[in-house]
């Protein structure tokens, strides 16, 4: 069994991005600029945003965080988004999810200028992705494809089973891997909470991608010998043995599954760092205007 080390791959990619940013700076006398809107006090969201800021610093991007109160109205949040849409110094921005319950994530996503939508959530980017047109790929699926590429994991003709059909992970990765492309050409089964015989379907997979949000959901008995296992889940669970009282685990029972898989991503240190890398790559494309002028 080989561990797919997302942390190491993201460090390699950051080092090469650092060079690209230096060249960009010489040519344009500015650096790429990523902004993030953070609404409320959710500790996980705060940690994700601070990770993104740290990664921007590491590669030489400028970053800005706009912190807004939990009780901000939807209209006021949209006004903040419109300011960022109009700000010529900002190449791309994200609105950290989840948002407070009174705010519509759909309305917020639609309000972001798709040319600055470096999370790749806007329907224009999503639709272009589905048709194989240049676009900002959603950051997590983008990160997964970079990992598969880096570890030379063949996807053509393979059976991929994706567990979970969210708009940000399960559905887009199933589209990406079934497209006619280098990291693609797979036969993909997209499963969800209404899927019948899920155990049996996962057992048929050459590559399993778990994005459910239930700790340890995918167990060793569901995995074919030699399968590749990509664990997207990030779940905080209690652990009395640790002074912090809790730890992060994935959607895969790592202990059991790693004994049967050929490749597996750990949590933390697998898909997570590559999601940030996807965002960085998209922001660089936005600054270079490679996708939209």
Ligand X SMILES: NC(=O)c1ccc[n+]([C@@H]2O[C@H](COP(=O)([O-])OP(=O)(O)OC[C@H]3O[C@@H](n4cnc5c(N)ncnc54)[C@H](OP(=O)(O)O)[C@@H]3O)[C@@H](O)[C@H]2O)c1
List the structure tokens of 203.
Answer: 């057992």
Among 92, 141, 164, 172, binds ligand X (CB under 6 A): 164
Nearer Cβ to ligand X (261/275): 275
Which token pair is 94?
Answer: 């994200």
**Contact map string, positions 129 to 148, toward ligand X, x by CB under 6 A:** -----------x--------
Residue 205: φ, ψ to 5°:
-80, 140
Decide if residue 81 touches ligand X (CB under 6 A): no
Quick check: 163 binds ligand X (CB under 6 A)? yes
Instruction: Provide the mask over 226-265, with x wherever binding to ligand X is found by CB under 6 A and - wherever it is not.
Output: ------xxxx------------------------------
- Which residues are identified as catalytic? 52, 96, 119
DSSP secondary structure string, 152-176? Answer: T---TT-EEEEE---TTTHHHHHHH
Assess 174 for contact with ligand X (CB under 6 A): no
> Rounded to an integer, what distance in angstroms lies between the CA atom of residue 70 and that of residue 170?
28
By CB under 6 A, the count of residues binding ligand X is 25
Dihedral of alpha carbons 98, 103, 106, 110, sign: negative
- Report whether 227 contacts 220 (CB < 8 A): no
Residue whose CB is less far from ligand X, 10 or 261: 10
User: Which of these ranges, 88-96, 115-123, 145-153, 167-175, lies near ligand X under the rule CB under 6 A?
Assistant: 167-175
Contacts of ligand X in 260-289 (CB under 6 A) = 271-272, 275
Asked, as a colleague might, if the bond just before 268 is cis with ω within 30 of 0, I would say yes
Q: Is 115 helix (H, G, I), strand (E, B) or coil?
A: helix
Instruction: Indicate whether 55 belongs to the interface with ligand X (CB under 6 A).
Output: no
Instruction: Report the distance separating Cα 256 and Cα 196, nearest Å.
Output: 23
Q: Interface residues with ligand X (CB under 6 A)?
A: 140, 163-166, 168-170, 191-195, 198, 211-214, 232-235, 271-272, 275
């Amino acid at each position: 069994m080989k561990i797919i080390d997302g942390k190491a791959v993201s460090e390699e990619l950051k080092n090469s991005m650092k060079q690209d940013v230096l060249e960009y700076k010489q040519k344009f006398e500015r650096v790429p600029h990523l902004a993030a809107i953070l609404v409320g006090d959710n500790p996980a969201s705060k940690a994700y945003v601070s990770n993104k800021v740290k990664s921007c610093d590491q590669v030489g991007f400028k970053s800005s965080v706009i912190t807004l109160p939990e009780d901000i109205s939807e209209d006021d949040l949209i006004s903040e988004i419109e300011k960022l849409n109009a700000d010529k110094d900002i190449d791309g921005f994200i609105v950290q999810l989840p948002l407070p319950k009174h705010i519509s994530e759909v309305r917020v996503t639609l309000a972001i200028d798709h040319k600055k939508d470096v999370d790749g959530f806007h329907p224009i980017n999503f639709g272009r992705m589905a048709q194989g047109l240049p676009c900002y790929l959603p950051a997590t699926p983008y990160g997964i494809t970079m990992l598969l590429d880096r570890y030379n994991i063949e996807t053509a003709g393979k059976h991929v089973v994706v567990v979970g059909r969210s708009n940000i992970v399960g559905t887009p990765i199933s589209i990406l891997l079934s497209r006619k492309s280098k990291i693609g050409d797979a036969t993909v089964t997209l499963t969800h909470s209404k899927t019948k015989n899920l155990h049996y379907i996962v057992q048929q997979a050459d590559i399993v991608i778990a994005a459910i949000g239930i700790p340890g959901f995918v167990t060793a008995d569901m995995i074919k010998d030699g399968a590749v296992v990509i664990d997207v889940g990030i779940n905080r669970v209690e652990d009395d043995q640790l002074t912090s009282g809790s730890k992060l685990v994935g959607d895969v029972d790592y202990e059991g599954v790693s004994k049967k898989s050929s490749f597996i991503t750990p949590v933390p240190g697998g898909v997570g760092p590559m999601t940030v890398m996807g965002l960085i790559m998209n922001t660089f494309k936005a600054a270079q205007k490679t996708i939209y002028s």
